[in-house]
């Protein structure tokens, strides 16, 4: 039985969530490992959410927003774009593989693109194996 990764997706309402809905209306198939959480704008996504997701058992986190220049709230995605490298540096220091946390721009008309990203990411995370932060933390807690 191959390892089934758990991936949490944070999608902005106006572009990427709509794009993911379009993948649905178009019946484009992708792996069921991703669970999506809707926010109004990618600017709402605090790095803390990503960390919490990883600690709570996610093997990967996908952040999606509108293409730069197209943000419904004008500049929200730029803010997400600026937070992301800092987050990635932090995660690297913690030993979280690069492929586990990913930022992508998906527009409302890009259903296929969303599906392709999910397919690709699922395979990469699967190859990396389980993240184990949750299980390690639990083990630590038991020890103590």
Q: Which residues of this chain interact with other proteins, rule CB under 8 A?
A: 4, 6, 8, 13-14, 17-18, 20-21, 23-25, 27-32, 35-41, 43-46, 49, 52-53, 56-58, 69-70, 72-76, 79, 83, 107-109, 115
CB-nearer residue toward other proteins: 20 or 96: 20
**Which residues on neighbouring strands pair with residue 63, listed in sequence order?**
10, 103
β-pairing verdict for 60-65 and 7-12: parallel
For residues 19 and 113, the answer to whether their CB atoms sit within 8 Å is yes
What SS3 class is residue 127?
A: helix
CB-nearer residue toward other proteins: 78 or 124: 78
Phi/psi of residue 124, each to 5°?
-65, -45
Please work out, in degrees rounded to the nearest 5, the angle formed at the alpha carbon of residue 34 by the alpha carbons of 50 and 67.
Answer: 70
Least CB distance from residue 13 to other proteins, whole Å?
Answer: 7
Least CB distance from residue 39 to other proteins, whole Å?
Answer: 6
Least CB distance from residue 30 to other proteins, whole Å?
Answer: 6
What SS3 class is residue 139?
A: helix
CB-nearer residue toward other proteins: 45 or 96: 45
CB-nearer residue toward other proteins: 75 or 98: 75
């Amino acid at each position: 039985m191959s390892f089934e990764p758990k991936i949490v997706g944070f999608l902005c309402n106006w572009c990427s969530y709509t794009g993911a809905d379009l993948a649905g209306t178009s019946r484009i198939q992708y792996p069921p490992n991703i669970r999506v959480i809707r926010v109004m704008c990618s600017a709402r996504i605090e790095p803390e959410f990503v960390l919490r997701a990883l600690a709570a058992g996610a093997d990967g986190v996908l952040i999606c927003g509108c293409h730069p220049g197209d943000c419904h709230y004008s500049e929200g995605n730029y803010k997400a774009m600026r937070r992301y490298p800092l987050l990635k540096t932090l995660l690297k220091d913690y030993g979280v593989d690069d492929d586990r946390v990913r930022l992508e721009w998906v527009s409302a008309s890009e259903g296929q693109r969303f599906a392709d990203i999910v397919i690709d990411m699922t395979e990469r995370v699967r190859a990396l194996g389980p993240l184990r932060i949750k299980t390690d933390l639990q083990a630590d807690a038991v020890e103590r």
